[in-house]
């Protein structure tokens, strides 16, 4: 994956907070939110009563039974603490990140601009939405906003961790700034876009602290399954007692409680909340802020991914690679005219064209009085009007053809051939004309990023369809799509086209993800199930999306989807492991409960556990210690490998299903060997 912030799983500070949180969460009102562990807590309370009143429920009161009840009570208490500890560790990591973000929140002085141009110094906490402030080099931007005037370098390391400053300027998709970042050079006039307490940083802090975290649909469904299993096992345990009495078998209440705790899915019940919190924490460590756990989980179910071509699949900056004259035009004349149109063109295309022309020996300079024509979406061309009446234009082939026809000129026969040749190479053709004569074509090369084809193949392997969106003509789009290895493309794409394809996919029951940074991307980001906005993009895009990438790396949508898959796989794997655990614990406890009265059941004691008491306590202790042992796996996640759902299910069944059966057999036997001599000293 891409840039990753390395961090210890549990720091001393997180450990200290988690220990405190483990006890705080013992409050029954909180424990009721996790029904499985609430049952364990109730069992702990009942065995505590039995420790002081061993004959309370009709058991034969003996000193040995009192000791046994105390041990069961202690183990159950530790089980609940371990489950709370797992959740507290996950929360602690989020709070640690929130604390680091809070350090960037400073009540700085803001230079508020009045309508008359006057400046008033106020505290940044007093700023309101639509206030306009002036921020100069070395000063901290006092709040979220959009640049309305000026160009400056901004240090966003406090938010993104990236040391290299970025350029922010008015207009376009790179006008958004975040409060707490620092202006490194020049100055910016900024319109504040959020009220106090509602800034992007404020929302980030609330999110990583988990204050606004809600259980996701899959988490709710799994929780419902766990509650259902718990109820079923409780019914079984309740009916087991009268059956045992009828059979003449004396069962202690504490033993029945131990059986219930071991058979209900306590392992996944204790780790479920931690897994969900860790999912949000995991994307945060990759510098992606998820607005909800639902957004992270939705990533794991993505069926279709919509990606922009420029900056995502390709490097984005189309650079001039060559000049192709048409119908007898002189190549040096084509280069000269192309250079003249680019003297005031600050786009990457314009700068690279001028640079290429200079390398080829052209030294054309600006004629005093020249009028430079900027590119617009309506005209689809730019150029220069020279005082001697010469008009030079460069732009899309169709636009230049129409312009030349209006001027009474003709279209060279080999123009279309040159345009199609460049398009077939995956480049972008820019046609150049002087007055009513077309001189030739500039070849702008757009390069697919290294490794993209392999990454799309990985997505295809797990059933995710990729669709590329581009404003290029169909021929160019087809060439790039083929080279990149995407499953489909939309050429000459407009914002409404993105929404249309998203709705079409969703109508077929598919989960759709997309990435964007501009205001025109906002509707599509809001429509998609997973919308990843760039932090460098507009406020509208960030408000519409349910995830924000602080690194502004459009390709990170691929990593985010893999993190979502990893979250679902982790939850499923640990659920499989937890349920498989119950099989081994069944063979430990059931024979121990009945084999004294029904010796024939001894055949089920395949682990050859020493005594009924040691068998029950060994299973109960294993049930407790397996929870903290699995915390690292719950936090880091099961390693993700792209594969089909069938292969993934088979792999997890072999590793976590079979492993979930074998591990308790080994663990319970080892614990039995350790505690049997100790219990013998206590007379058990």
Residues annotated in a binding site for ATP: 345, 349, 375-382, 394
Residues annotated in a binding site: 345, 349, 375-382, 394, 517, 521
What does the pLDDT look like over 179-201, one tens digit per residue?
878 888 888 899 888 777 666 66
The HSE-up count of residue 471 (CA atoms within 13 Å, CB side) is 9
Mean pLDDT of 569-587: 84
Radius of gyration of the chain (CA): 34
Task: State yes or no: is 308 an active-site residue.
Answer: yes
Mean pLDDT of 72-79: 92
Percent of the chain with pLDDT over 70: 86
* DSSP character string of 202-259: HHHHHHHHTTT----HHHHHHHHHHHHHHHHHHHHHHHHHHHHHHTT----HHHHHHH
What does the pLDDT look like over 532-553, one tens digit per residue?
888 767 777 777 888 888 777 7
What does the pLDDT look like over 436-475, one tens digit per residue?
999 999 998 877 777 888 888 888 887 889 999 887 778 7
Work out the angle at residue 203's Cα, subtended by the Cα atoms of residues 197 and 205, and round it to the nearest 5 degrees: 100
Residues annotated in a binding site for Mg(2+): 517, 521
**8 Å CB contact between 393 and 375:** no
Mean pLDDT of 618-628: 90
Structure tokens at 662: 């074998």
Contacts 24+ apart (CB under 8 A), 245-250: 247/597, 247/598, 248/597, 249/593, 249/594, 249/596, 249/597, 249/598, 250/59, 250/60, 250/597
- Specify the residue for token string 């993209």: 452
**8 Å CB contact between 144 and 179:** yes
Q: How far is CA 676 from the centre of its chain?
A: 48
What does the pLDDT look like over 356-385, one tens digit per residue?
999 999 998 999 999 999 888 778 899 999
Mean pLDDT of the chain: 82
**Residue 59: pLDDT above 60?**
no
Taking every pair of C-alpha atoms in the chain, what is the biggest distance, in angstroms? 115
* DSSP character string of 489-542: EESS--HHHHHHHHHHHHHTT--EEEEE-SGGGHHHHHHSSEEEEETTS-HHHH
Mean pLDDT of 409-437: 88
Q: Which is catalytic among the residues 308, 362, 553, 672?
A: 308
What does the pLDDT look like over 305-345, one tens digit per residue?
998 787 678 766 678 889 999 988 999 999 999 999 999 88
403 vs 282 pLDDT, higher one: 403
- The confidence score (pLDDT) of residue 2 equals 40
What does the pLDDT look like over 146-189, one tens digit per residue?
888 888 888 876 665 555 677 888 766 567 787 878 888 888 89
Closest CA to 382 of 368, 372, 390, 370: 372
- The confidence score (pLDDT) of residue 176 equals 79
What does the pLDDT look like over 321-331, one tens digit per residue?
899 999 889 99
Closest CA to 371 of 350, 346, 344: 344
In 595-644, alpha helices (H)? 612-629, 631-636
Name, of 363-367, 375-379, 633-637, 678-682, the range with top average pLDDT: 363-367
Strand-pair partners of 550: none
Sheet of strand 547-549: strand arrangement? 288-290, 547-549, 530-534, 512-516, 304-308, 465-469, 488-490
């Amino acid at each position: 994956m891409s840039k990753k912030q390395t961090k210890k799983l549990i720091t001393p500070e997180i450990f200290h907070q988690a220990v405190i949180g483990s006890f705080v969460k013992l409050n029954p009102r909180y424990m009721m939110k996790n029904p499985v562990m609430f049952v364990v807590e109730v069992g702990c309370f009942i065995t505590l009563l039995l420790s002081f009143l061993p004959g309370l429920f009709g058991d034969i009161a003996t000193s040995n039974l009192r000791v046994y009840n105390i041990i069961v009570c202690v183990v159950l208490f530790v089980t609940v603490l371990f489950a709370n500890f797992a959740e507290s560790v996950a929360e602690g990591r989020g709070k640690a990140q929130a604390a680091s973000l809070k350090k960037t929140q400073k009540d700085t002085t803001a230079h508020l601009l009045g309508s008359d141009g006057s400046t008033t110094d106020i505290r940044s906490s007093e700023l309101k939405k639509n206030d306009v402030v002036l921020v100069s080099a070395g000063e901290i931007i006092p709040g979220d906003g959009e640049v309305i005037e000026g160009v400056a370098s901004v240090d966003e390391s406090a938010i993104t961790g990236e040391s290299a400053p970025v350029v922010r300027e008015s207009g376009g998709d790179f006008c958004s700034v975040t409060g707490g970042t620092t202006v490194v050079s020049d100055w910016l006039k900024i319109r504040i876009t959020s009220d106090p307490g509602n800034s992007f940083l404020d929302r980030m802090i609330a999110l990583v602290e988990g204050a606004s975290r809600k259980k996701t649909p899959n988490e709710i469904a799994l929780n419902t399954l766990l509650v259902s299993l718990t109820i079923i096992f409780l019914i079984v345990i309740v009916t087991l007692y009268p059956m045992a009495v009828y059979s003449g078998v004396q069962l202690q209440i504490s033993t029945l409680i131990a059986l219930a705790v071991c058979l209900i899915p306590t392992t996944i019940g204790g780790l479920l909340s931690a897994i969900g919190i860790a999912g949000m924490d995991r994307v945060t460590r990759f510098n992606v802020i998820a607005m909800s756990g639902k957004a992270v989980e939705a990533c794991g179910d993505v069926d279709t991914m919509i990606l922009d071509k420029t900056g995502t699949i390709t490097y984005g900056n189309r650079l001039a690679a060559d000049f192709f004259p048409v119908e007898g035009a002189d190549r040096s004349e084509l280069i000269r005219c192309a250079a003249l149109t680019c003297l005031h063109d600050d786009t990457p295309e314009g700068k690279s064209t001028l640079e290429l022309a200079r390398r080829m020996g052209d030294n054309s300079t600006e004629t005093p009085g020249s009028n430079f024509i900027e590119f617009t979406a309506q005209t689809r061309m730019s150029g220069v009007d020279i005082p001697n009446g010469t008009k030079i234009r460069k732009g899309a082939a169709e636009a230049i053809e129409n312009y030349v026809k209006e001027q009474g000129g003709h279209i060279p026969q080999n123009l279309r051939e040159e345009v199609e040749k460049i398009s077939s190479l995956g480049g972008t053709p820019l046609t150049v004309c002087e007055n009513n004569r077309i001189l030739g074509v500039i070849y702008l090369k757009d390069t697919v990023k290294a490794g993209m084809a392999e990454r799309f193949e990985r997505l295809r392997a797990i059933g995710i369809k990729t669709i590329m969106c581009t404003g290029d003509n169909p021929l160019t789009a087809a060439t790039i799509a083929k080279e990149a290895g995407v499953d489909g493309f939309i050429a000459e794409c407009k914002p409404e086209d993105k929404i249309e394809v998203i709705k079409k996919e969703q109508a077929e029951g598919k989960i759709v993800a997309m990435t964007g940074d501009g205001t025109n991307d906002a509707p599509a980001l809001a429509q998609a199930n997973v919308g990843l906005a760039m932090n460098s993009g507009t406020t509208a895009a960030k408000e519409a999306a349910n995830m924000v990438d602080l690194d502004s790396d459009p390709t990170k949508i691929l990593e985010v989807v893999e993190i979502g898959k990893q979250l679902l796989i982790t939850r499923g794997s640990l659920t499989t492991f937890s349920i498989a655990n119950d099989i081994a614990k069944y063979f430990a406890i059931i024979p121990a409960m009945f084999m004294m009265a029904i010796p024939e059941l001894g055949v089920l004691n395949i682990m050859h556990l020493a005594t009924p008491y040691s068998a029950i306590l060994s299973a109960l202790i294993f049930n407790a210690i397996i929870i903290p042992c699995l915390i690292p796996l719950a936090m880091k996640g099961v390693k993700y490998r792209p594969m089909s759902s069938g292969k993934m299910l088979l792999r997890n069944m072999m590793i976590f299903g079979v492993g979930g059966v074998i591990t308790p057999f080994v663990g319970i036997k080892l614990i039995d060997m350790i505690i049997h001599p100790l219990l013998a000293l206590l007379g058990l």
